[in-house]
Every structure is written in C-alpha cells, then in structure tokens.
A and B are shown apart, each in its own frame.
Chain A
C-alpha cells in the first residue's frame, strides 16, 4: 500500500515535506509502547502511535521504520518533525483514534505480518 493511499484512507495530514510518495508499506503496527516495537517488530512497517516524543523518532530510526502516523490528532512539535525529516522518516497525523485507524487500514488490506509472535 502506498503512503498516498494510507493518507487518503486515514484522512491524514503529511507533516514532513519531501517524502517519497511511491514508498510501499506492506505491514503495520499500532503501539504506544516503544519497548514492544523494538522487541517484536521485525520488518519495516507503518507505525501507528499516540506517543509524540523524540524517542518515537529514535525508535523508528533504529528499527528502519520509514513512516509513522500519529493518531487522535496529536500535536507534534516542530523539533520532532525536524528530527524525522533529517532521518528521512515520513510523519502523518490522523484525527482518528488508534483502534479506528488500525481498523480502517486492516479493512483496506494492510496486515500485521512482520511482527514476532
């Protein structure tokens, strides 16, 4: 699924300019617990989260996660956006809460593979 499609499905806003519109996302992971993201996510995924701290960007950086979507219309600080841009990470924000956002993407065909059992 292309990032553009995810943006459309979630009615999301793109916070980082210069992202790769053709980037294909195969799987997704919804979590507010970065410890779990680092322990269980195996393949490059879209990360959906309600956390907006710089450590979310760090976690994505270490895990080779290229796209993050903040849920519940979170306010993201300019410094977090800059940090993501410097690392080539695309940031999205949707007003939908976590459960709904995950459900919408799942219904559209995204799956949770790439996550260790």
Chain B
C-alpha cells in the first residue's frame, strides 16, 4: 500500500497511520502491537510533514510482520545521532505551539519498533524504516 503524505498540511497529518491502524485491527492483530505500529508510523508521518513538507509512506503487511517506510525528499538530517537524542528538535515554533516538536519523535519510533533504521542525505531526503512483528 502506498500513501501520499500531505504537503505542509500539519492538520491533516495522520490519515495514513489512521488507515493502517484500522487495517491491523480488522486483521485481528493484538491491540498492543497495533498501538506500537500506529504510534511509530504517526511519529514518522508527522516528521515528514513538519520537516520535509510531505512525502510518502509505503506499507507492506505479511502474516508475521508489517514494514512501514516513510520517505521524503526534504532537507535531510545532517547529524542523525544528534537527531536521535531525546529533547533535540529543529521543529519550528508553530509546530511546538500545537503540542509537538519536543524532540521525542525519532526515539519514540525506535522504542515502538522491533526493527528501526534511518537513512538521510542532506539536500536529498530521509527514509525511515519500521518493522513490527505480530507474534513477539
């Protein structure tokens, strides 16, 4: 499944994650696993909308796991280690005023995912890959 993430429309962010959550619930995946997947994907989706003004999400669901890739053509992350630090954020003020951008996003994705990887190139974009297993 492929989703286009809204360009710069912060208020609409989350549609893709919401849709994936519904599908996992319909498949009868345990609620705790569904919640972890939804939170990880939602954080990644928000990041793409906040920092890269949109992007896309590619989702693959098998009987044992789900793979979510959130890909953007945004400005990229110069220092991934720094970006992974809790509390570090480059989100603009208007995003913080809406209750986000506290520098918890990437660490929270990692915490909720069974496998997590991030690749980024300055000026090219960022790709976040999340895998969650259904039976662990």
Contact = CB atoms under 8 A, between A and B. Distances in A.
Q: What is the size category of the interface that chain A forms with chain B?
A: 10 to 19
Contacts of B42: 38, 58-59, 62
A35 B100 contact: yes
Contacts of B38: 61-62
Taking chain B's interface residues, is the majority helix, strand, or loop, or is none over half, making it mixed?
Answer: helix
Interface in A48-67: 49, 51, 53-56, 58-59, 61-64
A56 B10 CA distance: 12
Taking chain A's interface residues, is the majority helix, strand, or loop, or is none over half, making it mixed?
Answer: helix
B98 interface: yes
Q: What is the size category of the interface that chain B forms with chain A?
A: 20 to 34
Nearest to B38: A62
Nearest to A37: B99
A48 B14 CA distance: 21
B39 A61 contact: no
A38 B108 contact: yes
Nearest to A58: B14
Nearest to B32: A64
Contact of A35 (B13, B14, B31, B105): B105
Contacts of A25: none
A81 B104 CA distance: 27
A38 B73 CA distance: 26
A35 B99 contact: yes
Interface of B: 10-11, 13-14, 17-18, 21, 31, 35, 38-39, 42-43, 98-105, 107-108, 111
The 4 residue pairs across chains A and B that have the minimum distance between CB atoms: A35-B102, A34-B99, A58-B14, A39-B104
Interface of A: 32-36, 38-39, 49, 51, 53-56, 58-59, 61-64
